[in-house]
Amino acid sequence: MVRVKICGITSPNDALAAADAGADAIGINLVAGPRRVDTDQAAAIAQALPPFCTPVALVGLEHGQLSGEVLELLGRCWISHVQLYGDVTPNAVASLRQDGFHPLLVHHVTAELFPTDMDAKLAAMAEAPPRALVLDAYDPDRLGGTGQPVDWSMLAEARVAGRLTAWPPVVLAGGLNPGNVANAVRTVHPWAVDVSSGVEATVGKKDPAKMRAFVAAVRESS
């Protein structure tokens, strides 16, 4: 079964609506952009979640470290899944794993370099690899939530060629919505899919009907 993560959750109500729609995980952005929340908002979102819907914190690393404020939040709310941005080094990933976190490595896919660039990153992290890879569309000005898709056929070709066999689980992000996610799942066969702008009513505000339709499309295609 392909898992569903609904990212860019900005309120407890949206977190509950995502869980009610059947999301396996939700993303709480502590990094940048219009969906960023502060640590108090993040705590309220995480604490509103019912059991079996996993909070994932999008966090920035500086010099390979999390800030004290973010670490306090993660400990207080028992958030163990962290999606990494910023100064993500092999030592940082290893340290997070040693401390009991489940680091998700974000990789922005470009046709010129993929999948060789991903192979190089993973080789450097061979002793302590990330728990999953979030493959997202490349945008020089934005970390995510761009609404732009990755080239699914390129990922499918890499999978058929056996290039992804030894990789951690792949989470497909970038430009997904209720109308195209079934095709994306059938083409790429990811371990999970990640959506943000594709299930919004307005920027930062989720649409419950779109979330339900998205989850239903994933379930029917996997």
Cα Rg for the chain, rounded, in angstroms? Answer: 16
Residue 204 and residue 186 in contact, taking contact as beta carbons nearer than 8 Å: no
Place of tokens 């594709």: 198
The token duo for 19 is: 């869980």
Q: Are 186 and 141 in contact (CB under 8 A)?
A: no
Q: How many CB atoms lie within 10 A of CB 78?
A: 9
Which residues are identified as catalytic? 7, 136
Q: Which two three-digit tokens encode residue 203? A: 């920027």
Q: How far is CA 206 from CA 20, 21, 56, 195, 209, in A?
A: 13, 11, 17, 11, 9
